[in-house]
Structure 1
Amino acid sequence: MDVVLIRHPAVNVDAGICYGNSDVPLAAGPETSAEALAVRLATLQVPAPRVVLTSPLTRCATVAGALANNFGCTASSDDSLKEMDFGTWELQRWDDIDRALIDAWAADFEGARVHGGESVAQFVARVRTWFDVFEQTRELSPAYVVTHAGVMRVIAALTLGLTVDVCLQWALEAGAVVWLRRNDTTMKWAIVRWNA
Structure 2
Amino acid sequence: MDIVLIRHPAVSVDEGICYGHSDVALADAPETSAAALAVRLATLQVPAPRVLLSSPLTRCASVAAALAANFGCAFSTDDSLKEMHFGTWELQRWDGIDRALLDAWAEDFTGARSHGGESVEQFVTRVRAWFDVFQQTRELTPAYIVTHAGVMRVIAATVLGLPVERCLKWSIDMSGCVWLRRDDTSQEWSIVRWNA
What TM-score range do you get, normalising by the shorter chain?
over 0.9
Q: 1:83-122 counterparts in 2 under 5 A?
A: 83-122=83-122
Could you tell me which amino acid in structure 2 is paired with residue 34 of structure 1? A
Q: 1:74: Cα distance to partner?
A: 1.4
Q: 1:77: Cα distance to partner?
A: 0.2
Q: What is the rounded CA distance, in whole Å, between the counterparts of 1:155 and 1:103 in structure 2?
A: 26
> Is there any run of 5+ residues in structure 1 with no aligned partner, and where?
none
Q: What is the rounded CA distance, in whole Å, between the counterparts of 2:108 and 2:183 in structure 1?
A: 35
Match of 1:184 in 2: 184
Match of 2:46 in 1: 46
Match of 1:165 in 2: 165
Q: 1:184: Cα distance to partner?
A: 1.2
Q: 1:1-196 counterparts in 2 under 5 A?
A: 1-196=1-196
Q: What is the rounded CA distance, in whole Å, between the counterparts of 1:133 and 1:61 in structure 2?
A: 21
Could you tell me which amino acid in structure 2 is paired with residue 130 of structure 1? W
Q: What is the rounded CA distance, in whole Å, between the counterparts of 1:105 and 1:88 in structure 2?
A: 13
Could you tell me which amino acid in structure 2 is paired with residue 94 of structure 1? W
Q: After TM superposition, which residue ranges in structure 1, 4 or more long, deviate above 2 angstroms?
A: none
- Give the superposed CA RMSD: 0.4
Q: What is the rounded CA distance, in whole Å, between the counterparts of 1:179 and 1:48 in structure 2?
A: 12
Could you tell me which amino acid in structure 1 is paired with residue 164 of structure 2? V
Q: What is the rounded CA distance, in whole Å, between the counterparts of 1:100 and 1:190 in structure 2?
A: 39
For residues 58-112 of structure 1, what are the alpha-carbon distances to aligned partners after superposition, in whole Å with 9 as ceiling and x for unaligned?
0000000000000000110000000000000000000000111111101101100
> Is there any run of 5+ residues in structure 2 with no aligned partner, and where?
none
Q: What is the rounded CA distance, in whole Å, between the counterparts of 2:189 and 2:103 in structure 1?
A: 34
Q: What is the rounded CA distance, in whole Å, between the counterparts of 1:112 and 1:189 in structure 2?
A: 31
Q: What is the rounded CA distance, in whole Å, between the counterparts of 2:159 and 2:16 in structure 1?
A: 30
SS of 1:39's equivalent?
A: helix
Query: Identity over aligned residues, as a percent?
Result: 77
